[in-house]
Amino acid sequence: METRTLATEQKWASSGPVNYGQCWVFAGTLCSVFRSLGIPCRVVTNFSSAHDTNENLSIDTYYDYEGNNLGGDDSIWNFHVWVEAWMARPDIGSYYNGWQVLDATPQETSAGVFRLGPTPVIAVKEGDINMSYDCPFVFSEVNADTISWLYDEDTGDSEQVRSNRTSVGKFTSTKAVGTNSRADITSNYKYREGSAQERESYDNAVNQIYGRRAASTDEHDGRGRAAPAAVTFARNVRVKPATNVNLSAQFKDCDPIVIGQDVQLTLAVKNTSAVNKVICHFSAKSTGYRRRVMRNVVNDAVTISMGPNEEKEIPFTLPYSKYRDCLTDDKVLEVTALCKGDDNHKFLATKVITLESPSMIIKVLNKPVLNKPLNAEIIIENPLDETLNGCELSVEGSGLVTQQIKRTISLKPKEKAKVGLEITPYKKGSKQLQVVLSCHRMKHVKAFTFINVAEA
């Protein structure tokens, strides 16, 4: 597994395709290419990133009457990574000069080809989605509404049980200049959630989408794409939260959960009607960061008695023994609670949990000097009550390691192990040492440290 762009490009140049790449790999590679050409470029990560397949600016998710996620064409990824490149846009006007989105892992086709961009960031913020290229998709990634539906398999009918205007496009980030801290650039893509400007931008985007649906072609799109056809556009105003909610539920925030620990959640249920009984159907599934393929972990139901205007907290525990064999490499769990009152009012609550990796620490044991042996120690903790055999430890670092170092180790239950390492720095200055640990129970446990190599 390569962890550096240069190594990936060198391997591709010498032997062909490099396995395997995901969005952050492609984005890092494209960023390096742009910079090598003298074009300013930076990598951007968008959390809670929407994948809107039909350009209606909403993400629709369907559930059955036990709270099981039935999926749908739309989805919300835990994160997605693209790049911004600084460009002039004489084709659409100087107002749209500046940062342009380009996605090296395009999720949908544009004029029949998987590609995205350049999309002016300022056009996304203002809701000017007719500006070239692919602006509706990027707008949805950072600012789509989400709608949850209950689907009746017998009748084919759907019932809306939840909507949210603010859950998409969180902590849009890039690396800060000159430091390794995170720079939040969410405000470059949208106005503050709930502000008048944000609502105006969204309405502008909706009106332009509605106009595109009425036309046979998009007059502003330089690719001459046909306007989306046979797609139901159900609204030309922003989705409105229900005003007559008699029942509400929400999972409370919880501390980070390390893989191997039981998942312990609390569901806060509020009854604002005269119902006496509420049934909560819990469903837990294992999924990935794109939240597409899901494996069922557990289903449970709890019945509680509630008085009018009463609030109650319901504990939910998912033991490690239940989810251990279902986890994907991304270590993501989705817990859903569908609450139904005896007056047939329903409300849906969801909680997405990305399990934390165990700690791994790199200690440098002597002064780093150019072309002199440097000793380091890697401290690894096994949080599980089982032995981990065949763990692969990979070490890389430009200017520190000429070729990737690999070790195979075993970790006893709850062991905190120390692995010694000797390297010889071959370039001076600030360098980064990267360590990755992978085994069948824990994938891609990562750590890094900066090492300032002095002249001999």
Scored b (16 or more CB within 10 A) or e, 76-109 reads: bbbbbbbbbbebebeebeeebebbbbbbbbbbbe
Q: Is the pLDDT of residue 97 over 60?
A: yes
Q: Which of 400, 397, 396, 398 is nearest to 371 (CA)?
A: 400
219 in any annotated domain: no
The larger pLDDT score, comparing residue 246 to residue 225, is at 246
Residue 326 is among the residues annotated as catalytic for this protein: no
CA dist., res. 123 & res. 132, Å (int): 9
User: How many beta carbons lie within 10 A of that of residue 212, not counting itself?
Assistant: 22
- For residue 370, the domain's CATH number is 2.60.40.10
The residue behind tokens 């009463």 is 310
Q: Is the pLDDT of residue 450 over 70?
A: yes
Q: Please identify, among 297, 331, 354, the residue that sits at the C-terminal boundary of a domain.
A: 354
Helix H or strand E segment including 189: helix 186-189
Regarding whether 316 and 180 lie in a shared domain, the answer is no
Please identify which of the residues 80, 128, 221, 439 carries the catalytic annotation. Answer: 80
Question: How do residues 291-308 score in pLDDT, each as one tens digit?
Answer: 766 788 999 999 999 888
* Alpha carbon of residue 441 to chain centroid: 22
Predicted TM-score of the model (pTM): 0.80
Q: Please identify, among 354, 369, 386, the residue that sits at the C-terminal boundary of a domain.
A: 354
Q: Is 95 helix (H, G, I), strand (E, B) or coil?
A: helix
Q: Is the pLDDT of residue 435 over 90?
A: yes
Please identify which of the residues 23, 135, 339, 391 carries the catalytic annotation. Answer: 23
Q: Is the pLDDT of residue 82 over 50?
A: yes
Question: How do residues 257-273 score in pLDDT, each as one tens digit?
Answer: 999 999 999 999 998 87
**What's the burial of 286, exposed, middle or buried (CB within 10 Å: 0-12/13-18/19+)?**
buried
pLDDT of residue 226: 34
Residue 439 is among the residues annotated as catalytic for this protein: no
pLDDT of residue 266: 96
* 306, 272 Cβ separation under 8 angstroms: no
Write out the residue range of the structural domain in which residue 311 sits.
247-354
Q: What are phi and psi of 271, to 5 degrees?
A: -105, 115
pLDDT of residue 204: 94
Region 176-183: mean pLDDT is: 91
Regarding whether 331 and 198 lie in a shared domain, the answer is no
Q: How confident is the model at residue 237 (pLDDT cuts 50, 70, 90)?
A: very low
CA dist., res. 29 & res. 361, Å (int): 27
| Window from 19-33, 77-91, 376-390 with minimum mean pLDDT | 19-33
Q: Is the pLDDT of residue 78 over 80?
A: yes
235 in any annotated domain: no
Return all residues near 6 (Cβ < 8 A) that are at least 6 apart.
Answer: 32, 398
User: How many beta carbons lie within 10 A of that of residue 386, not counting itself?
Assistant: 13
- For residue 136, the domain's CATH number is 3.90.260.10
Do strands 247-251 and 263-271 pair parallel, antiparallel, or not at all (unpaired)?
antiparallel
* Count of structural domains within the chain: 3
Please identify which of the residues 74, 103, 134, 221 carries the catalytic annotation. Answer: 103
Question: How do residues 27-64 score in pLDDT, each as one tens digit?
Answer: 999 999 999 999 999 999 999 999 998 888 989 888 88
Q: Please identify, among 354, 380, 406, the residue that sits at the C-terminal boundary of a domain.
A: 354
How would you classify residue 140: left for phi > 0, otherwise alpha for psi between -120 and 50, otherwise beta?
A: alpha
The larger pLDDT score, comparing residue 360 to residue 218, is at 360
* 132, 223 Cβ separation under 8 angstroms: yes
User: How many beta carbons lie within 10 A of that of residue 61, not counting itself?
Assistant: 21
Residue 23 is among the residues annotated as catalytic for this protein: yes
Task: Give percent of the chain above pLDDT 90.
Answer: 59
Regarding whether 319 and 370 lie in a shared domain, the answer is no
Regarding whether 262 and 160 lie in a shared domain, the answer is no
115 in any annotated domain: yes
Q: Is the pLDDT of residue 9 over 80?
A: no
* Averaged pLDDT of the chain: 87
Region 339-350: mean pLDDT is: 87
Regarding whether 369 and 272 lie in a shared domain, the answer is no
The residue behind tokens 């502008």 is 204
How would you classify residue 429: left for phi > 0, otherwise alpha for psi between -120 and 50, otherwise beta?
A: left
Residue 59 vs residues 56, 146, 163, 244: alpha-carbon distances, Å: 8, 5, 10, 22
